[in-house]
Amino acid sequence: MTRKVEASNISVSYNEFEALQDINFTLENGKIYGVIGRNGAGKTSLLSVIAAYRKATSGEMKIDGENIFENENAMSQVMFVHQTDYKDHHDTISKYFDLAERYRPAFDRKYAEQLVQLFQLPINKPLRKLSAGMQSAFNVTMGLASKTPITIFDEAYQGMDAPTREIFYSEVLEEQARNPRIFILSTHLISEMEYLFDEVLMIHQGTLILQEEVDTLLERGYSVTGPTSDVVEVVAGLHVLNEEQLGGTKSMMLYGELTKEKEDEIIRKELEIGNISLHELFIHLTKEGM
């Protein structure tokens, strides 16, 4: 069955604080979505609504046309992986696998045990005795092996070292190729993870400022570098994100469509056109006052 997540006018308020305001988007099966935003932007609030951990103050969150909140069938389609405090958890990884098999029919224990080997996790040691990195590796193991149509990882890499994160990223891509689903990854490690994403949802101060395919988004960001007067002249009227000056040379970071006419003008003036990373775009698109 084709899976689709649809958010319609989602708002979430805590007392007087509005965490999310009028969020709208559609997520489709077979794509990996990156959810990025500064601290306090509302990322976890949004993911909690998708996973039915929290009811939106207003608006509707639907999976395949069904409202998800307090809908057992819809909720069973979602796995929400987030940081968990295991200090009082005496069960072993093996015991958690037993529980997952009982309550999540799609759980793939064979794959889970393969991941345990990859992450070098002690399967018969109580979770509370594992390091923070191992606990995170266990969390992503449960998410990957759940085989749920919608799998959410909220800053799931915390505590993992770089080699372990690379194993996680590789498994997300391989599992998506084997069993396409909706993967949603919230992260601050944008430069490290951007190659994973098909689309990005950028949240700023509780609003969704863009949802875009990564390739399309990156095409909208570019820099122009050269003699100051020529650069200033050529970028007049364009959306400038940032500028840097070194002696008589200026570099300006721009956002928007680079038309053929404008590109020809830049080339004619012998200015340099450069690429901008997703990380740089994120920083400047979420600046105060943008």
Give the model confidence (pLDDT) of 65-118 as tens digits.
999 988 888 888 899 998 888 888 889 999 999 999 988 889 999 999 999 999
CB 169 within 8 A of CB 196: yes
* For the chain, percent of residues with pLDDT exceeding 70: 98
| Backbone φ and ψ of 112, nearest 5° | -60, -40
Q: What angle do CA 26, 63, 202 make, to 5 degrees?
A: 30
> Same structural domain for residues 127 and 182?
yes
Q: State the pLDDT at residue 84.
A: 82
> Same structural domain for residues 22 and 156?
yes
> Same structural domain for residues 62 and 114?
yes
Total count of domains within the chain: 2
C-alpha 214/C-alpha 194 separation (Å) is: 8
- Has residue 211 been placed in a domain? no
> Same structural domain for residues 158 and 280?
no
Q: What is the pLDDT of residues 33-61, one digit of tens each?
A: 999 999 989 999 999 999 999 999 999 99
C-alpha 34/C-alpha 77 separation (Å) is: 19
pLDDT bin (cut points 50, 70, 90) of residue 290 is very low
Q: State which residues form the domain around 268.
A: 217-285
* Structure-model confidence comparison of residues 140 and 14, the more confident one: 140
> Same structural domain for residues 177 and 228?
no
Q: What angle do CA 280, 284, 286 make, to 5 degrees?
A: 120
- Has residue 212 been placed in a domain? no
User: Over the chain, what HEC string results?
Assistant: CCCEEEEEEEEEEECCEEEEEEEEEEEECCCEEEEEECCCCCHHHHHHHHCCCCCCCEEEEEECCEECCCCHHHHCCEEEECCCCCCCCCCEHHHHHHHHHHHCCCCCHHHHHHHHHHHCCCCCCEHHHCCHHHHHHHHHHHHHHHCCCEEEEECCCCCCCHHHHHHHHHHHHHHHHHCCCEEEEECCCHHHHHHHCCEEEEEECCEEEEEEEHHHHHHHEEEEEEEHHHHHHHCCCCCEEEEEEECCEEEEEEECCCCHHHHHHHHHCCCEEEECCHHHHHHHHCCCCC
Mean pLDDT across 168-182: 96
Final residue belonging to a domain, choices 156, 174, 205: 205
Give the amino acid at 163. Answer: P
Residue 255 to residues 232, 235, 280, 290, Cα–Cα distance (Å): 15, 11, 11, 12
- Has residue 53 been placed in a domain? yes
> Same structural domain for residues 66 and 174?
yes
Mean pLDDT across 167-173: 96
Q: pTM of the prediction?
A: 0.93
CB 49 within 8 A of CB 41: no
> Same structural domain for residues 254 and 130?
no
Strand partners, 272: 225
**pLDDT, the chain, mean:** 92
* Structure-model confidence comparison of residues 6 and 86, the more confident one: 6
- Has residue 271 been placed in a domain? yes
Q: What is the pLDDT of residues 137-149, one digit of tens each?
A: 999 999 999 999 9
- Residue 284 in this model has a pLDDT that exceeds 60: yes
